[in-house]
Structures are given as structure tokens and as C-alpha cells.
Structure 1
Amino acid sequence: MASTRQQPSWQPPPDPSPEDQLPLLKIYNSLTKTKNLFVPIDSKRRKVTWYACGPTVYDDAHLGHARNYVSTDIIRRIMKGFFKYDVRFVMNITDVDDKIIVRGRQQYLLAKYLSGALKQHPPSAKIRSAALEAYVEKSLPKVSNGTPPKAIKEVVEQKYADVIAGKSLDPSRPAGDDEAKLKMHIKTVFSATEAIQLLEENRLEESSEDFKNNVQDILLPYLDSLYGATIDASDHAIFTNLTQKFEARFMEDVRALNCLDPDDVTRVTEYGPQIVDFVKKIEENEFGYKTSDGSVYFDIKAFEDANNSYARLEPGSRNDQGRQADGEGKLTLQTTEKRSPSDFALWKSSRPGEPSWPSPWGEGRPGWHIECSAMASDKLGSQIDIHSGGIDLAFPHHDNELAQSEAYWLQKGEHNHQWVNYFMHMGHLSIQGSKMSKSLKNFTTIREALSRGTWTPRGLRIVFLLGNWAGPIEITEDLVKEGSNWEDKVNNFFINAKDALTRPSPNPDAKVNDELQEALRNTQQAVELALCNSFDTREAMNGKNGMSELISTYNSAKNGSISSDTISAIANWITSIVNIFGLNGEASPNSEIIGWSGIEIPDSAKPYVESVSRLRDQLRSRARSAKGLTAQELQTTVGAIAEVPNDQESNSSSYQQVLQNFKAEATSLASSPNLSKAVLSLTDRIRDIDLWNCDIYLEDRENEPTLIRPVTRELRAARQEKEDRERAKQLAKAEREKQAAARAEKGRLSHLDMFRTSEYSAWNEEGIPTKDAEGVDVTKSREKKLRKDQAAQKKLHEAWISASGANVNS
């Protein structure tokens, strides 16, 4: 039973001295469930220590992981670039745990199985059948044991029809993760049964990638259950080959998302001796105990009896046996020697098929939670400013970390050692209401999303900036659109601001400039307040007096009235903020270059495109004038555009070709009967096709030179939308014409003759049938219907006569 003594609460760090001049930054602290004023331990030197839980490297990172690491990177950049803290950022790599052990072992066994090197195994057909049966029995219990493989798909479709149709297992609640997991299992079974059938029909090779990809999810656990304990686990390469591969891919992925590298990276496999020493100290402090199998457990009761608090992050989960079991791992040996069901492993005795390291308690491996405590303490000491990770780590992982670290650092006679001052937990990313996770297989990997063009690093980061880092984010069409609109707005601002600075206003309006300078000061203040409010980036971007509102104010001013100093002040400040947010590659917050990447056309294109734009502007201006363009003016204008020397060192040939073709085609139009119209058509084509195909767009502006800009995703989307509207319009027109033609063709037939068919045998003088084919009188109701149809045909026929000019009596 836990102690009844008053449990300690979070203690704020001491207030800084006035001369420290720290920002009034408040951070939402998971330890207190509120926003606390941030005061670093080393406030005089503004140094911040930060430990972040990194990835468990056994598979590619997905967008749910990106949510965590990008949001963490954003906050880290703001602390460094905006608040000027000296941040030391340490991140761990979990390269040994239950998932890695199982995955490494399974992949090793699968490779041996597919190569035929797995000794003394039953025939492949028997293994496949048994693996499928075992998977179905465990994952889809409504399917009867012994169902033949060929009948499984039909039975599953029948037993799980509601789930397949998207319905909930429980009518009282909407479908969620349980249903998503069942759908995943159904998909796995369907893919496997289809691959097995193709193999048996000799339409698929067992050694092919297609077969492996479709059946591995059923084969992996089955092979592991048969042979997992037989592998030589002293060969750590079985596991490290997997982790080294995916650690490298993880670092590639987060760098592609423009996340800064950690200052230090720690790996569990490199910390064996330190972890053993850490566990020994906890045991010596009488907060850990050994069991007969050589494992060591944390004694929660002893910890609480010493006036310490357990489960401070999520006290409501303290007795959640399911989550505690997940935290212990599926490979943990169940023991009756635990003093409490909630006690967790500090050191695990290794079983056959599991890697191990030497320890005073026997061969074993670290518990999941101890790794972070030992590594963070080694790098950052007895107290840390910030500890971060995904919200799913709060309990039991971080709660167990807190307890065992404070148990380690407690000195004799000391109570309530506060190991971490601020815990920051990043919210989940969900799609269509379901959390993105590997266990549900409802994820898109980072590299897939970037390679397919589904996301850009900047676009994804903007979406995360528009969310609350501590809350969940659901990817919706509205959120994606909001992010795209914000990016497009800032993009256009940078392009126009840089262009305006090349053409300084000769007579800037003092009032306009004063108003813009005041707007800039208001936005600077609003952004600082937003970022001080627990990094509220959404408010900084789209809130009152936020960045978007400043750009709108700038856009509403007359460009010719704004001084270069004002333009530079606004553009440089917005540039510094987007650089701090990590939206501009490796650019520094202090960069003197206005804007972000992607607003400039390639350097190799500039001399040619600028010549094309200048020639086009001059020809369009004359062609659109009241007098129009003469042949002499055309030739003089084209001749005045100097040749641009070819740069053999650059990729300029396509741009040079556009310029040469433009000059040649313009010259050839000199004899055109309607010269101005022909030239305008040519200049439109240069803009809409020739340069567009080179990823360059010329934006025409009234009474100003054409704006040269790269083709962006937003421009492509706008053009596609316009083309779709035009295509729909043409299709609708074609359909109307088709229907009109059908009506016209139908109108050829005279209403007087329309019923003179074999269906009837007698008619009156109006052409209305009086008897059917067998001489039976037409009923009154039938006659009424026939007269109605004839009246409609009469209108069609008269319309046809009118349109064709035919003789009504013909």
C-alpha cells in the first residue's frame, strides 16, 4: 500500500535575478498540467539542457513521428533563434528493446526460410498453411479453426462484413482504433491468401519480393514461435544490422524535414556498463530488488514510503495494468516474485533467442525505461531543464523514468529530488479520426510522402506550426488548405517585396510608411506575446496582428508609396521569423537575404528569361496600344534585344532556346495581316507554354514590368483548377449540343406519323391510334397518354421545321 504521507508537488526553479533579463516565456508543463514560467537551471548564462526521447529504430519513420520530431525542432529553434537560449539538445536512439529483438530475429529467420537455409523445417506448404491458420486464429477469432485457406477470404467477408463496411463493433460509439486494427488484419490475411494461391498455381515465385511482401506478416510471428529461441543471440549483428540501417534512414528522413541534428546522440547498446551501474545504485538506495531469474525490479512501494511520488505525469493511469504491461514488453518473463504488479523491470534476464550483456545479476539486458535515465543523467547530470517526447510516452515510460532517476539521485536523508523541471509532450497526428501508428499500419512514411510529392518539408512544417504542439492534430482538407494559403501568401509577399526593392519609389508617402512601420511594431509585439505563450505559433502566424495580417496590410498599401526602408524592415523581419521556424533550409535567423528558397528562378535562367520578359513587355505594350504594332517597330524592338552568350558551364540551353525561338517567331510575323493580334497570341504562348514548361511563370501587371517567378505547387494547382473548370464547361457544352442534336433528329418525324407503326392497326385523322395491332380498341387512358406524347412531338417537329427551313407540307 502506498504511503499516506503528503506527496511532493512540482517545485518551480528559483526566480532569476533582475539582471538576467530572461524572457517571460511560459511553457505548458506536463508535470503541472499548466503553463509555468520558464527559468533554466543556469539562468545567468541562459543555458538550457534538454533530453528528447528519440526513435526505436526497427522500421521507417512515418508522418506521426514527423509530428513529434518536427514540432520538437520548431520549439528548439524558437528557444535558440528567438529567445536566444544556449540549448544543449541530447536525443537517444533505442537500438535494443523487445520490438527490435523480435523484428531482428524474425527478419533473420525469414531470410533463412526464403533462401532454404532454415534447417530441419517442415515443407514450405505446411509452414505457410500453419502460419496462416495461427494468424487468423489470433487476429480474426470469428473465423472457425480449421477453415480451409481457399475459403478463408469468403468466411472473413461474411463474419466481418460490418467492419469491412466501416461500421463500429459497438453501435454506441463510432468506429476507431479497434476497427482499424481489424481492417489491418483482414487486409493482411487477404494479401497472404492471394499470394499463396498464386504460388500454388505457379504464377508467383516463393523467392520474389511480391511473395515476401504479401506473406511476411503471417510468416514472421510463426517462424519466430518455432525457431526464435534457437538462434545464436550472442551474434548481436542479427539485431544491429537492422538498427543501424533504420537509424541511418531515420536521420536522413528528419534532415529532409529540415530538423537540426541533436548536439549529442546516445545509443542503448553503447551504454551497457553505465546502465548496470545505474541499476546498482538504485538497488543500493533500496528502491530496487532482484528476483531469482536474474532480473531487477523497481520497488514502487519503497519509493513512495520514502515520501516520493510515483506516476506524477499521469496519476490516473497508475493502476492501468494494460499500459504497464505494454511498458514492460511482451518478452518480459512473467514472475510471481514481483512485490507489486506495478513494479517495473530495471534489468531483464535474457531468455534464449535474446541478446544479453554481463551484469552482477547474470546475463541480461536493460529494461525499457532505464536506458533514458542512465543516458540523460550521464550527459546532463542530476537535473534537467526539459524532457520531451510523444504524448504516448508519458505513462508508463516517462513516469517510470522520473521515479527511477529520482531514486538514483536521492542522497542519504534527502527527499523529493526533482530530476526534470519541464516535461513537454507532443500531441498525436491523426487521419480521419484514427491515430497514425505502426501497429495499425495506417501510416505513410516520411520518405514516401516526400518522394510522391504529397508533402513538401515546408508544407508539412507549416501544418504543424498551425497546430498546438501539445495537442492532437488531425489532417483535414481545411487544415491543408489553410497551410497552403499561408505559404502562398508569404511566398507572394517575398516575391513582390524583392521586386519592389529593385524599383525604389521616388516619392514615398510618409503617412503610408508610418502606418506600415506601426503595423510592423504591432506584429512584432503580437508574435513575441504568442511565442511567450507556450510557443503559440498559430497565433503568431494567423492571429490578430500576426504575420498574415501584416502582409495583408502591406498588400493593401500602394507599392509606389512605400519606401525601400519600410519594405526592407518588414521583409527582413518576416524572413527572420520563417527562418527561426525552420521554413528556409539552413538559413540563419540573422540572414541578410530576404525571403525563402523557391522564390527565385535558377541563376542559369536569369539572363535569358529577363531578355524574354523585356522583349515580351515591349511588344505587348505596343500591340495593345491604340495605334497597334507596326512591322518596323517589331523588327526594331526584336533587334534591340542583345544576344546572350551561351554559358557552357550552366544548364541554360532550354532558356536560351526559348529566347532564340521567341525572337525568330516574332520576326517572322512581320508580314501578318493582323500583326498586333498575332504578336499578342505569341506572347501569351511564351508565357503559358514555353516558359511554363521550364518551370518559370511571367505574371503580367498593369503599368508595371512583368514579374518573373518560379512555377510553384500553388500556381500549378490554380492552373489545373482553371483547366478543370474549362474542361467541365466544354463537356457541358458538348452535352448540350448532343442533346440538342438528338432532339433535332427526333423532330424530323412528324407528329402525324409518329404512331403509324406495326404496334397499331387503325388511326383517326389526327394520327392517334384507335386500335392496337390485334384490332382491340385503344382505352381512354391510353389515348390520353398518346395525345400527350403527340403534343410533345409536335413541338419538336415544328422546331425542326423552323431550324431547317423545311416546307411544313413536305
Structure 2
Amino acid sequence: MATTTRQQPAWKAPQPTSTPKLKVYNSLTRAKNDFVPLKEDGVTWYSCGPTVYDDAHLGHARNYVTIDILRRIVSNYFEYPLQFVQNVTDVDDKIILRGRQQHLLESFSSEHKTLDTEVVEIATKAFNAYVQKNLPELPADVKPESFDLEANKTYKAVLAGKSLAGDNVPAGDKEAKVKMHLRTAGSAAGALVEAAKDSKTLGVEDFYTRTQDALLPYLDSLYGSKIDASDHSIFTKLTQKYEARFMEDMRNLNVLDPDVITRVTEFGPQIIKYVEKILDNGFAYVTSDGSIYFDIKAFEGKPGNHYARLEPWNRNDQSLLADGEGALLNKSSEKKSDGDFAIWKASKPGEPSWPSPWGPGRPGWHIECSVMASDVLGANIDVHSGGIDLCFPHHDNELAQAEAYWSTGKPEGHQWIRYFLHMGHLSISGSKMSKSLKNFTTIREALSTGDFNARGLRIIFLLGGWNQGVEITEGLRKQATSWERYLDNFFRKALDVQRHPTNHDSTDQDAKVCEALATAQTTLHNALSDSFDTPSAMMAIQKLVTEYNATDRTSVTDDTLVDVAKWITRIVRIFGLDGTADPNDGTIGWSGVEIPEVAKEFVFAASRERDEVRAHAIAKDLSDETLDAIISKDTAAKLQDAAAVPYAEVLTSFQESLKELAHRKADPKEFLDLCDKLRDISLWDLGIYLEDRDGLHALVRPVDAELRAAREQKEERERVKKDAKAKREAKEKDKAAKRLESGKVSEKDYFRTPEYSAWDEDGLPTKDTKGEELPKSRSKRLKKEWAQQKKLHEEWLASQG
């Protein structure tokens, strides 16, 4: 590709007016710059939001959760007042296509509620059209019944994970698209084959589900231009549904709501005025159909203007340019340059439109954000964020449009955005997720199946650089789980000390922990100040916990432990790891480390009584008076909230069982067994566990996945051991039964076989089958066998009564 040397932008990195709190990696300069907001009273931040035509997937979670982390750090750690604006794209080519196609399929299916001949005929044509367009290497006349065979033969290399060429080049997006098309066509082919065999056994809804991805574009090709596009509800029904689902997903991931949400459909007049001004400034032109294109040459002809600042190396990438223009835009022969892009599109039949001076039309994709951000935040904005894939052409086009709109003609140009922050991609085992490739896991699927939870996913993102690609591997998931459990256990220890003060004296180890806290605070501050280096910050927290764990618990004062726990709590809450909890409320821990509040009164009482009963039972000095003194300290109230009743019942039941054992002077072991039952059954079934510790009271904690896994492993070991024992016993029993059965024959009859011809009065053989006397050695051996059989026969007789 030919390259052209272009004038570098006159714009420079923001210069600090005071000592900056942090540096950020700025995509505009491709370097770390001092972060200096325009105004001392707050930071303005615009973030590119979702295009709402489908459910958000984990790739979107990576983007929005990571932006949320940065936003929280800026506002809660560095304490900048912040106005956060995020858009919702509720009209663009993808939405028009999806909304129109869904409308057409709904209309078609409502007219054909049974699997009739017309449905199968249309689906067959849709299958053929889909294959010819997307899988051109297959025979043009491939039939549904032979599709799998032909596909496996033609695309053998791709299906084996290789490139289309079949060489050693790793498979990429092209191969991923082929696999997607093979799945779509294969699903439709399978449904058509089943329908041909017996259409009565195949439900019509199942048929539509399996063929819809082929039916949608085909129905659109037939009827898309004929729908009444003035009825915008065809499209808003789709966008309103998925905007609501997106916001629900974000809240489930603990992503803060934007301060302001902007929607494209609510900014029609502002967009038209914005386009008019760009035209008036001489940076755009109108084509004969009423479309308006941004004039890159005219824009760069003015001092200080520069196009494609973020990714200048991609400005001539035709695939990116085409993707940025959208699938519905007609290629215009009136474009002055291939790189010029539409800022206003003349609407064609079947597309929604709004009135404008240039005729019915709709906004281009890129103009939307330029207008909404400018309208809400003005001519100068501190931060603009989004996914790395938006750099070019979307954000580069945004910049050009806004700078053309706000153009002052000054040699340095107009600085619209000071800092561009781009989040890195997410991949799972090397595969980048994409809606277009249909290879994604939606957020709600991942959360509902338990594959991920909000905290675990956020920890994964915190362990990776915000502007670097993150690949979710099994190793990274284990690292995140380990980090979370590490803090779970630490918070439980700290909360327990708060509940049971120890009043230890200060020691050298206490001083070391205090020093470790100061070091961690400095390390974390420096990490966050260095362009939000959350991986280093996470390691600083883990190292501090390790330093504490390495000390003797009795050598660290309660105050020191509480100080460490409160600081860590504040930081993890700033990172968004504890729901809506206030980072500055001075409490300890995060959700999940404590038992329910309604349970505490009764469970803590039961745990204390159990500790004391166990100690006296082990010492064998549990008198009636001692037991009465232990139980009398706690009495369950007669009236409780409904949620507290199960816990109160456990306490009462435990106390009554203790009294019953005392009444019948039970052995200490029975008291210990009762204590185990309280721990392993009564409280476990309520999701609570008592962790016994040598020389200390039991640690009260919720039952979590780690504990459940440990119990399941223990139960499995015990089951295997029990099965092995039962197998041994059965074998021994069978062996004994066979031995006993062999004793049915009397010793006097045992040797009366054709092998011998004479016997004495006890049944011992004296002559062999030929009538010859038996040798003494053989007679001696037979006598031993005779004695054994006599014993067996006596045992058998005894067993028979």
C-alpha cells in the first residue's frame, strides 16, 4: 500500500498548570501524558455506548466494566468531580437491517403458522441464496441433503482449524466467518431435510428458529424496500428492548449508570444544525441524492487540521472504511475521494428518515457522537473513551467532524478532546468475540450459568492492563479466583478480630505490618498514578495480605489489622468490587464474607456456646452447673422476623439437645458429636460454617464454593472408601459362604469317589482305583484333608442348627 507523508498535527499534549495527580496513556499522542482537566471544578467525560440491536456479550463487558473502573478511580481515588456522558446508538445500518428483518420474519411467520409448502419453498430459496453469497466455494446447486458432505469436503482445512488456504498460517476472522456461515447454512439444511422427510413431526417454531438466519436476509431482499419505514416503531421496538436489557446487564456487572444518557433519535434537530455548520465551514459537500460527505481534502487544507490522528496508518484501509460507512449506503460516484465519509445519508425505501434541508434522510454513524458530545459537554472535552476497535474510522471521523464544526481558523486548529482512552480487546482462549461472527457469550448467559460473576469478571479485568488485550485463560481465571479467596479469608480474620478484640501489645512484627501497609499505599498510589496500572495495584494488595499472613496473629495489634483491612476495603470498593458500598464508610470487607445480618444474634450465640461446651467436654469437666452457666447467657427472643426464625430455631434446638444429654448423664463424646452436628448439618444447611481453629474460638463464615468443593471431595473420598470396604466385606462373605457350602459333605463320604476302591470305617481311602495299597505319604496327606473336611462339616452342621 502506498504511503504519503503528511503534515503532523500542530496539537500537542496538554501542558500541566500544576503538579498533576496522574499520567494517562493518551491515544492521541500514543504516549503517557500528565492528566490536567480543563477546569478545576471537574472532569468532562464522553464514552461511546452500545448499538442496541442484540444482547451485549463478554467483549462489551470488557469495555464497559473497564471504563467503569477508570471512572471510579478518577472520581473516588483522585477525587475529581466528574460528569460522565454515554450515548445509545438507536439508529444505524445494523439497527435498520435487524429491525426490518425481524419485522418481516414476524409478519411472515404470523401469516404461516404451520409448516406449509410455501414456508419450505421460501426457506429453500433462502438457503440457496445464503450459500451462494457467503460460501461461494460450494457448488451453486448444492442441495440441503448433501450440504454437510460438500461442506466438509470443500472447507476441510477451515474445519480443522487451519486457514482457508490450508497452509500453516493461523486461522483468523475470515475463517471464523466461514465457520459462522457453515453453522447457519448447516442449521437451515438440517431443518429442510427433516421437513422433507416428515413435516408433521417438525414443529413450525423449531423450523423458524433453525432457518431464521438464512430467512432474515432473504425476506429482506424480497420485501425490505416495501415496508412503511415512516412507522419508526418497527425499529424502536428493537432498540428499546435491547437498551433496557443492556442497562440491566450493566447493573448486574456493577457498572455505574451514566450521569447523562444521550440517544441519537432524540438529537435530530441538533444533528441537522451540526451538519449545516460543517457545510458552511467548507468541510463537506452535498451529492445529488441528498447525502452529505465529509471533505477530507478540504479539511486538511486548513491550518492545524489533520485527519486520522488516532490511527493514521489505517486511513487507506478499504475494509475499515467500508465497515465505517455501513452496509446500506450506496456507493456514490460523486464522492471526491474514497476516504470521504457520509455525515448525512439520504434514506432509501424501507429505511427510516427525518426531514432535512437536503430531503428525507438520517444521520451517518460518526456524526452522532460528535453532535451529542458537543451538545452536552461543549467545544472542549477532557476524556473520550471506547473500545480499541473504534479508533478508526469512528473516533478519527468524530474528531474530524467536531474540529470542522468548532473550527476557528487558528494555525493550531481546534482541540476538541484532550485525552482519548481506548480499552483493549477481550478474547477467550485466543478467539475475539464479535456480534458479526456470532461467536460470543452474552453477559446474561455467562452470569446465569455461573461461568462468571460480576466480581470475578472485574478482577480478571483489573489483573490485565486496561488498554491491553486480555485473554481469559484457565490460568487467569484461577489467578482471579485465588486473589478473591485470599481477600475473603483476610476480611474474615479482620472482622473476627473486630468482633472478638484481643488487646495484643505492639511488637516488632506489628511494626513490620505497619511498614508493609505504608509501602502498599505508596506502591498502589504510584501504580494508579501511572496510567491506571491496576495489575500492579492488585499485586500490592495481595503482597500486603501476604505480609500480614506471615506474622503470628498474637503479635499484631487489633488496631493495625483493622487499619490494614479498612484501607484494602476502601480500595476494592473504589475498584467496584463490592456493589454500591461506600468506599469511605470506614467498614471492613465486601459482600459474601459475612453471614446474613438476621442470623448473627443467634448463630454467634450458638457458636460461643458450642466453643465452651467442646472445651469442657474435651477436658471431661462439663458439670450441670457449668452447662447451665453456658446456656443461660443466650436466650432466643420469642418473636423474630420471619427471616430470622430458622437461625433462632437452630440455637433453641441446640440448647434443648444439650439439656437432654445432661439430663441422662451422657458421655462427653455425645456432647462432641452434638457439636459436630451443629457445625456439619444444622448450620451448614443454612449456608453457615463454623471453622474450628486450634486454641481459638470457631470462625463463623458463610458456606462458599470453596467449602462446598472441599466437602464434596471429602464425601467422595469417604464414599470411595466405604464402597471399597463394602466390596471387601462382600468378597469375604462370599468366600465364607463358599467355604461353608463345601462343608455339606461329611468327612466319611468326602473321599468316596472313583479315584479309590477301598476305605476304612472313617471313610479314609486305603486303596487306589486299581486296588493297590496307597503309599504312606499319600495316606498322610489325605488324612490332613480328611481332618479339614471334618471341621468344615461340623461348622456346616452348626450353621444348620
Q: Shorter-chain TM-score: what band? A: 0.7 to 0.9
Contact conserved, 1:611 with 1:659, CA < 8 A, in 2? yes
Contact conserved, 1:67 with 1:429, CA < 8 A, in 2? yes
Give distance in 2, aligned partners of 1:742 and 1:125. Answer: 65
SS in 1 for 2:38: coil
Give distance in 2, aligned partners of 1:727 and 1:9. Answer: 75
Q: Which runs of 5+ in 2 are unaligned?
A: 740-787, 794-801
Bigger shift: residues 94-103 or 733-742: 733-742
682, 692, 697: which is aligned to 1:690? 682
Give distance in 2, aligned partners of 1:134 and 1:316. Answer: 37
Correspondence 1:3-14 to 2 at 5 A: 6-14=7-15
Shift of 1:296: 0.5
458, 463, 470: which is aligned to 1:461? 458
What amino acid is the match of 1:375?
M
189, 202, 205: which is aligned to 1:204? 202
Q: CA RMSD in A?
A: 3.0
Aligned to 2:565: 571
Shift of 1:727: 5.5
* Cα distance change, pair 305–666 in 1 and its aligned pair in 2 (3 A): same
What amino acid is the match of 1:41?
L
Aligned to 1:27: 24
154, 174, 178: which is aligned to 1:159? 154
Contact conserved, 2:93 with 2:328, CA < 8 A, in 1? yes
SS in 2 for 1:697: strand
Correspondence 1:622-771 to 2 at 5 A: 622-625=616-619, 627=620, 632=624, 636=628, 639-640=631-632, 642-669=634-661, 675-724=667-716
Shift of 1:182: 2.5
What amino acid is the match of 2:344?
W
552, 557, 561: which is aligned to 2:551? 557
* Cα distance change, pair 613–67 in 1 and its aligned pair in 2 (3 A): same
Contact conserved, 1:697 with 1:710, CA < 8 A, in 2? yes
Contact conserved, 1:634 with 1:670, CA < 8 A, in 2? no
Give distance in 2, aligned partners of 1:737 and 1:341. Answer: 85
What amino acid is the match of 1:562?
V
Structure 1 position 283 matched with structure 2 position 279:
yes
Aligned to 1:116: 111
Aligned to 2:261: 265
Contact conserved, 2:151 with 2:182, CA < 8 A, in 1? yes
Aligned to 1:149: 144
Shift of 1:197: 4.2
SS in 2 for 1:406: helix
Give distance in 2, aligned partners of 1:652 and 1:221. Answer: 57
Give distance in 1, aligned partners of 2:593 and 2:434. Answer: 36
Give distance in 2, aligned partners of 1:68 and 1:397. Answer: 16
1:586-630 CA-to-partner distances (Å, cap 9, x unmatched) read 1222112221122221122122212321222122212323x4757
Aligned to 1:492: 489
Aligned to 1:540: 537
What amino acid is the match of 1:706?
A
Give distance in 2, aligned partners of 1:648 and 1:211. Answer: 55
Structure 1 position 56 matched with structure 2 position 51:
yes
What amino acid is the match of 2:565?
A
Aligned to 1:528: 525
What amino acid is the match of 2:575?
F
Correspondence 1:480-519 to 2 at 5 A: 480-519=477-516
Contact conserved, 1:285 with 1:407, CA < 8 A, in 2? yes
Structure 1 position 620 matched with structure 2 position 620:
no
* Cα distance change, pair 356–13 in 1 and its aligned pair in 2 (3 A): same
Shift of 1:175: 2.8
Contact conserved, 2:456 with 2:480, CA < 8 A, in 1? yes
Give distance in 2, aligned partners of 1:74 and 1:519. Answer: 25
Contact conserved, 1:327 with 1:397, CA < 8 A, in 2? yes
SS in 2 for 1:440: coil
Shift of 1:212: 3.4
Give distance in 2, aligned partners of 1:192 and 1:497. Answer: 59
Give distance in 1, aligned partners of 2:150 and 2:625. Answer: 80
SS in 2 for 1:500: helix
* Cα distance change, pair 371–729 in 1 and its aligned pair in 2 (3 A): farther
Contact conserved, 2:10 with 2:412, CA < 8 A, in 1? no
What's the TM-score, normalizing by structure 1? 0.85
154, 170, 173: which is aligned to 1:177? 173
Give distance in 1, aligned partners of 2:716 and 2:176. Answer: 35
Contact conserved, 2:490 with 2:545, CA < 8 A, in 1? yes
Contact conserved, 1:131 with 1:218, CA < 8 A, in 2? yes
SS in 2 for 1:123: helix
Correspondence 1:398-413 to 2 at 5 A: 398-413=395-410
Shift of 1:90: 0.8
Aligned to 1:243: 239
* Cα distance change, pair 502–605 in 1 and its aligned pair in 2 (3 A): closer
Contact conserved, 2:144 with 2:190, CA < 8 A, in 1? no
Give distance in 2, aligned partners of 1:157 and 1:731. Answer: 47
What amino acid is the match of 1:302?
A
Shift of 1:670: 5.2
Shift of 1:215: 2.0
Bigger shift: residues 407-416 or 608-617: 407-416
Aligned to 1:420: 417
Aligned to 1:781: none
* Cα distance change, pair 612–503 in 1 and its aligned pair in 2 (3 A): closer
Bigger shift: residues 92-101 or 258-267: 258-267
Give distance in 1, aligned partners of 2:226 and 2:685. Answer: 60
Aligned pair count reads 737
Give distance in 1, aligned partners of 2:736 and 2:297. Answer: 92
Shift of 1:123: 1.7
Give distance in 2, aligned partners of 1:744 and 1:179. Answer: 67
SS in 2 for 1:36: strand
* Cα distance change, pair 678–639 in 1 and its aligned pair in 2 (3 A): same
* Cα distance change, pair 271–660 in 1 and its aligned pair in 2 (3 A): same
1:410-466 CA-to-partner distances (Å, cap 9, x unmatched) read 124554222111111001110110101111222111112222222221111111111
1:537-570 CA-to-partner distances (Å, cap 9, x unmatched) read 110111xxx1111111222223333323222321
* Cα distance change, pair 669–341 in 1 and its aligned pair in 2 (3 A): same
Give distance in 1, aligned partners of 2:262 and 2:35. Answer: 26
SS in 2 for 1:575: helix
Shift of 1:636: 3.9
1:466-512 CA-to-partner distances (Å, cap 9, x unmatched) read 11110111111111111111111111111111111223233412433
* Cα distance change, pair 687–415 in 1 and its aligned pair in 2 (3 A): same
Shift of 1:194: 3.2
What amino acid is the match of 1:16?
T
Give distance in 2, aligned partners of 1:403 and 1:725. Answer: 67
Contact conserved, 2:162 with 2:168, CA < 8 A, in 1? no
* Cα distance change, pair 392–723 in 1 and its aligned pair in 2 (3 A): farther
Give distance in 1, aligned partners of 2:326 and 2:727. Answer: 64
What's the TM-score, normalizing by structure 2? 0.86
What amino acid is the match of 2:366?
H
Shift of 1:643: 3.4
What amino acid is the match of 1:390?
G
Give distance in 2, aligned partners of 1:52 and 1:244. Answer: 20
Contact conserved, 2:290 with 2:359, CA < 8 A, in 1? yes
What amino acid is the match of 1:204?
L
Contact conserved, 1:505 with 1:561, CA < 8 A, in 2? no
Give distance in 2, aligned partners of 1:418 and 1:535. Answer: 24
Contact conserved, 2:503 with 2:558, CA < 8 A, in 1? no
Contact conserved, 1:176 with 1:433, CA < 8 A, in 2? no
585, 594, 605: which is aligned to 2:588? 594
* Cα distance change, pair 620–192 in 1 and its aligned pair in 2 (3 A): farther
* Cα distance change, pair 370–730 in 1 and its aligned pair in 2 (3 A): farther
1:144-194 CA-to-partner distances (Å, cap 9, x unmatched) read 222222222333234334433434434222233333332222222333333
Correspondence 1:787-806 to 2 at 5 A: none
Correspondence 1:313-392 to 2 at 5 A: 313-392=310-389
SS in 2 for 1:189: helix
Give distance in 2, aligned partners of 1:729 and 1:174. Answer: 48
Contact conserved, 2:302 with 2:409, CA < 8 A, in 1? no
Give distance in 1, aligned partners of 2:522 and 2:562. Answer: 18
